[in-house]
Amino acid sequence: MLSLSNVWVEYGEKVVLERISLDIAEGSFVSIIGPSGAGKSSLLRVILGQDQPSRGTITLDGEPLPKECGPDRGVVFQRYSVFPHLTVLGNTLLGLEFAQAPFAARLFGGARKAAIAQAGEMLAEVGLADSMNLYPSEMSGGMQQRLAIAQALIKRPRILLLDEPFGALDPGIRTDMHALITRLWREFGLTIVMVTHDIKEAFGLGTRVLTLDKRRHDPHAPHRYGAGVIYDIALTRKVQAEAEAQVVGITIDTFGNN
Ligand SMILES: Nc1ncnc2c1ncn2[C@@H]1O[C@H](COP(=O)(O)OP(=O)(O)OP(=O)(O)O)[C@@H](O)[C@H]1O
């Protein structure tokens, strides 16, 4: 479905990503992990269409990826994707209003009624049906991320990009959000690409885990080489469970708590 061929991301002299070639199958859930600064968010941004690769090509269904981010791709960031001055309903409607009335960003009459019904359905999907008139400041972090997910999904994207979407949440809330995103992924037939720092989350949710890191280092010119895909691990259910258990073991050993 989504294909990256020899993709590079460079900022002037600084090489962030080099030679990324990947085929992402429809319906897969790809987790991306790697050290800080490896270029995980940069990779997400080129898939989103927010940035252009400096070299290489990206295709969607065999066609070059449109330069701007269209309704085929939705995104959820760790924070700040909801508008504080709009209610939950207003925030959710906004995506539809921009898509259907790009100049006024406002719908009227029957179109508005239909949009409100659609927003209501989406908010029910993420468990916010009773919170439509709240403002983000009146909501917990978990509720705000549910809203960000509703905002991203209302335009029915085929690809959902998640940049550390649960990174700022408490562990208990994270578990609820994992269940939610897994349900939505299946229900909406989404293809998900998620950046995370949490290895357990990467293996627990993903059907495939990619590790980005530099293959080569030049101590005299740290920006000379970019990161590539070091590991590309496809997870069947059994491997997924085993890998998860192993990762827990490694984490415990690393911190010497065992
Ligand atoms: N617009 C830009 N101009 C110059 N350098 C940039 C730009 N955007 C990102 N970078 C650099 O690219 C590198 C990779 O950044 P990126 O945010 O993609 O890494 P990351 O793996 O997502 O990091 P983290 O895990 O800390 O969020 C960093 O060194 C960053 O400074």
Q: Is the CB of 36 under 6 A from ligand 1?
A: yes
Q: Is the CB of 35 under 6 A from ligand 1?
A: no
CA 82 to chain centre: 15
What confidence tier does 253 reach under pLDDT thresholds 50, 70, 90? very low
Q: Is the CB of 41 under 6 A from ligand 1?
A: yes
Q: What is the pLDDT of residues 86-106, one digit of tens each?
A: 999 999 998 787 766 666 567
Mean pLDDT computed over 110-117: 85
Question: Given phi > 0 = left and psi -120 to 50 = alpha, else beta, which region is 118?
Answer: alpha
Percent of the chain, pLDDT > 90?
A: 55
The length of the chain in residues reads 258
Encode 165-188 in three state secondary structure: CCCCCCHHHHHHHHHHHHHHHHHC
The token duo for 148 is 């960000």
Does residue 239 have a pLDDT over 60?
A: no
Mean pLDDT computed over 160-182: 89
Q: Is the CB of 11 under 6 A from ligand 1?
A: yes
Can you tell me which atom of ligand 1 is nearest the CA of 44? 18
Question: In angstroms, what is the span from residue 41 Cα to ligand 1's centroid?
Answer: 7
What are the φ and ψ backbone dihedral angles of 109, each rounded to 5 degrees? 55, -135
Please say whether the beta carbons of 142 and 148 come within 8 A: no
Q: What does the pLDDT read at residue 250?
A: 47
Q: Which domains does the chain have, with CATH numbers?
A: 1-72+157-258 (3.40.50.300), 84-156 (no CATH)
- Give the lowest-confidence range in 1-10, 116-125, 186-195, 213-222: 213-222
Q: What is the pLDDT of residues 131-160, one digit of tens each?
A: 999 999 999 888 998 999 999 889 889 999
What confidence tier does 225 reach under pLDDT thresholds 50, 70, 90? confident
Beta-carbon count within 10 A of 103 CB: 6
Question: In angstroms, what is the span from residue 42 Cα to ligand 1's centroid?
Answer: 6
More confident residue, 61 or 109: 61
Mean confidence (pLDDT) of the chain: 86
Task: From 9, 10, 13, 14, give the residue whose CB has the most ligand 1 atoms within 8 Å, as the site to mutate.
Answer: 14
More confident residue, 177 or 98: 177
**ipTM of the complex model:** 0.95
Q: Is the CB of 70 under 6 A from ligand 1?
A: no
For residues 87 and 74, give the distance between their C-alpha atoms in angstroms, rounded to a whole number.
Answer: 20
Question: In angstroms, what is the span from residue 32 Cα to ligand 1's centroid?
Answer: 14
Q: What does the pLDDT read at residue 80?
A: 64
Q: What does the pLDDT read at residue 242?
A: 55
Q: What does the pLDDT read at residue 79?
A: 75
Mean pLDDT computed over 117-142: 92
Instruction: Give the DSSP per-residue string, the chain.
Output: -EEEEEEEEEETTEEEEEEEEEEE-TT-EEEEE-STTSSHHHHHHHHHTSS--SEEEEEETTEEPPSS--TTEEEE-SS--S-TTS-HHHHHHHHHHHHH-TTT----HHHHHHHHHHHHHHHHHTT-GGGTT--GGGS-HHHHHHHHHHHHHTT--SEEEEESTTTTS-HHHHHHHHHHHHHHHHHTT-EEEEE-S-HHHHHHH-SEEEEEEES---TT-TTSS-EEEEEEEE--HHHHHHHHHHHHHHHHHHTT--
- Give the lowest-confidence range in 133-142, 224-233, 246-255: 246-255
Does residue 251 have a pLDDT over 60?
A: no
Q: Is the CB of 38 under 6 A from ligand 1?
A: yes
For residues 4 and 93, give the distance between their C-alpha atoms in angstroms, rounded to a whole number.
Answer: 33
Q: What does the pLDDT read at residue 28?
A: 93
More confident residue, 30 or 250: 30
Can you tell me which atom of ligand 1 is nearest the CA of 197? 25
Question: In angstroms, what is the span from residue 15 Cα to ligand 1's centroid?
Answer: 10
The token duo for 130 is 């009773």
Mean pLDDT computed over 37-61: 92
Does residue 22 have a pLDDT over 90?
A: yes
Q: Is the CB of 45 under 6 A from ligand 1?
A: no
Question: In angstroms, what is the span from residue 40 Cα to ligand 1's centroid?
Answer: 8
More confident residue, 255 or 219: 219
